[in-house]
Amino acid sequence: MDAITRNRPSFANIQIKLQPGDKIIAEADAMASMSANVRMKTRFSGGMIKAFMKRMFGGESLFVNEFSADAPAELVLTQGLPGDIESIDLKGTTLYLQPGAFLACEPGVTLGLGWAGLASFIGGEGLFRLKVKGNGRVWFSAYGGIFSRDITDEYIVDTGHLVAYEPSINIRVGLAGGIFSSFFGGEGLVTKVRGPGKIYMQSRNFSGLTAWMNAHMT
């Protein structure tokens, strides 16, 4: 199976060339177009109970779609918001995704929920995170461009910009500076990550989009 991420970073989509025997699992409503011979099978994401848990706490859909074909075919996947898509090849490893970031994966990858902690909740990232592990490629999406950084010590990320990170990363919440500078400087609470490990960030965040929309609609 060949997969190419096109039109990065603002309007990314995945063009997948399916061969007989290939399968790919995608978030519900991710399909943009496909060949007429592609078969789509809809099921609960990890079973009914796990699907409801991921819906309630992980920001994911109840259902996922499995695509396959008996002959060469094309499938195009995309996300709902303008932004980038990143692909990671898991080799028995694990990656944590923030709620709503998962887009697609190969069958060897399993999806579950992991406890993110109170620090993540206070920082606006939620109590839970999506845990992807196994063998195969996983695609995740973001609002805006995606960029990564290898963390060796402590690094500060503004709330809402952290998209994915390796399990070795530790997360806590703190002020960007002093009390006056943090709140009157517009930064408030920030996410402090400590390595070693790798993190993935998005260049835009939803709270900024919401604030812009509210300012222009009133």
Contacts of 184 (CB under 8 A, 6+ apart): none
Task: With CA atoms as reference, report the closest residue to 7 among 76, 101, 64.
Answer: 76
pLDDT of 120: 55
Q: Where are the domains of the chain?
A: 2-217
Which residues is 191 bridged to in the sheet? 157, 173
Using alpha carbons only, how large is the chain's radius of gyration in Å? Answer: 18
pLDDT in tens, 104-142: 999 999 988 766 655 555 555 556 678 899 999 999 999
pTM listed for this prediction: 0.81
pLDDT of 75: 98
pLDDT of 63: 76
pLDDT of 184: 46
| Cβ neighbours, 10 Å, residue 211 | 11
Regions of the chain with pLDDT less than 70 = 44-62, 114-128, 175-188, 206-218
Top CATH class of 2-217 equals alpha beta
Cβ pair 95, 133 in contact under 8 A: yes
